[in-house]
Chain A
Amino acid sequence: NAGVTQTPKFRILKIGQSMTLQCTQDMNHNYMYWYRQDPGMGLKLIYYSVGAGITDKGEVPNGYNVSRSTTEDFPLRLELAAPSQTSVYFCASSPPGSYEQYFGPGTRLTVT
Chain B
Amino acid sequence: GENVEQHPSTLSVQEGDSAVIKCTYSDSASNYFPWYKQELGKGPQLIIDIRSNVGEKKDQRIAVTLNKTAKHFSLHITETQPEDSAVYFCAAPPWGLTGGGNKLTFGTGTQLKVEL
Given known pairs A42-B89, A105-B43, the reply for A99 and B108 (CB within 8 Å) is: no
Interface centre among A42, A58, A98, A100 (most CB of B within 10 A): A42
The answer to whether B101 has its CB under 8 Å from any CB of chain A is yes
Residue-wise, chain A 1-24 has the 8 Å CB interface mask toward B (1 for contact) of 000100000000000000000000
| B45 interface residue per 8 A CB criterion | yes
Q: Quick one: CB contact mask for B38-80 with A, threshold 8 Å, 1 for yes?
A: 0001111110010000000000000000000000000000000
Q: A96 — nearest CB in chain B belongs to which residue?
A: B102
Please count how many residues in chain A sit with their CB below 8 Å of the partner chain's CB atoms: 28
When C-beta atoms are compared, the residue in chain B nearest to A32 turns out to be: B101
Interface size on B, residues (CB 8 A): 25
A31: interface (CB < 8 Å): yes
Q: A99 to B43, Cβ gap below 8 A? A: no
A99 B34 Cβ-Cβ under 8 A: yes
CB of A43 within 8 A of chain B?
Answer: yes
Q: Is the interface of B mostly helix, strand, loop or mixed?
A: loop
* B101 x A92 contact (CB < 8 A): no
| Nearest CB on A from B111, distance (A) | 10
Q: Which of B79-116 contact A (CB under 8 A)?
A: 89, 93, 99-109
Contacts of A105 in B (CB 8 A): 41-43
Query: A99-B32, A99-B104, A100-B49 are contacts. A40–B109 as well, Cβ < 8 Å?
Result: yes
Q: Are A50 and B101 within 8 A (Cβ)?
A: yes
- Nearest-neighbour CB distance to chain B for A33, whole angstroms, equals 7
